Amino acid sequence: MGASLLITLREGLEISLVLAILLGYLVKTGRTDRIAAMWSGAGIAAALCLVAGIAVHAVTDGLEGKAEQAVEGVMALAACAVLTWMILWMRANARTLGGTLRGRLDAATSVTAVGVVAFVAVAREGFETALFLLSAETASASTSEVVVGGLIGLAISAVIGVLVYRWGSRIDLRRFFTVTGVLLILFAAGLAGKAVHEFRELLGFEGGLLFSPRWEITSGRFAEGTLYDFLKGLFGWSASPERIRVVTYVAYAVAVTWAFLRPDRPAAAADTAAADTVAAGSASASTMAG
């Protein structure tokens, strides 16, 4: 549940910020008649992502043996790659996100075009979220737990999105994006380790220095129970991980965390730029609407 809550909280807030930017700019430019089209486009995108996620889950659920190992390995690797790209892309491009979205709205000369802008913006985040949630399901995190955690994360992100739209100038999301970014990197590191584990089993590599367990914990809180389930679901913890899995986890976590927090461009400034843009647009929009 912890992993799915974190995923939807972070992704849901990014969707909320995008919608707040679009809504604020439509109000500011006097095109309130197109707000309904924006919500329709966003709603259709959300529904499509939900259907796609359910369909993929239905196809992959119940697989066994080599098929299961192959699918889980590919899915974990894909989710890790997309999540890494998303975190680093947002860091590099958040500063210009508001301007890009406003430019697309300026180019959208019809009601339908406004809906398409919202659809594309939400669909990208939605498909990423569906992929991450599918990867978050493990033996210790059932489908129902993933769904419940995901819904809680979405609810919290929606509330934060409304607060940002109304009082954006008073809300500093710097710490939120930095902390959740690092947590998502650790989650992605777990996915990278999981992919290596699944492919090792698929290819039948056993024994030797790289493929033997780095440690083996057979009892206690790190081998079973609530803490074990939490660490496994959120950080990819294993009670008996292969050395190659540990090496993969550490190498990924160190490299990507450095890229995310490197001092030449502070992550805080890049990650909160979108919120700053929302604050500038939504504050004036709220004033005009009121």
User: What confidence tens digit (pLDDT) does each residue in 54-93 have?
Assistant: 888 787 777 778 888 888 888 889 889 988 988 888 777 6
Give the residue ranges of DSSP H helices in the chain.
Answer: 2-28, 35-60, 65-107, 111-136, 143-167, 174-203, 208-211, 226-235, 243-261, 267-271, 273-289
Q: What pLDDT score does 110 carry?
A: 82
Return the SS3 of 236.
coil
What is the average pLDDT score of the chain? Answer: 79
Could you identify the residue written with the tokens 């991980």? 241
Q: What pLDDT score does 268 carry?
A: 45
The pLDDT of residue 249 is above 90: yes
Please tell me the least confidently modeled range out of 28-37, 74-83, 263-272, 279-288.
Answer: 279-288
Q: Does residue 234 or residue 249 have the better pLDDT?
A: 249
The pLDDT of residue 232 is above 50: yes
Q: Which domain holds residue 267?
A: 2-289
Q: Into how many domains does the chain fold?
A: 1
Q: What pLDDT score does 168 carry?
A: 58
User: What tens digit of pLDDT does each residue of 97-140 get?
Assistant: 667 777 888 887 788 888 888 898 888 888 888 887 777 665 45
Could you identify the residue written with the tokens 């486009």? 41
- The band of 284, judged by pLDDT with boundaries at 50, 70 and 90, is very low
The arithmetic mean of pLDDT across residues 2-8, rounded, is 75
**Structure-block tokens of residue 191:** 């996915």
pTM for this entry: 0.73
**Structure-block tokens of residue 13:** 């807030």
Please tell me the least confidently modeled range out of 29-43, 153-167, 210-224, 272-286.
Answer: 272-286
Could you identify the residue written with the tokens 């930017």? 21
Measured CA to CA, the distance from residue 33 to residue 104 in angstroms comes to 17
Q: Decide: 104 and 117 in contact? Cβ < 8 Å.
A: yes
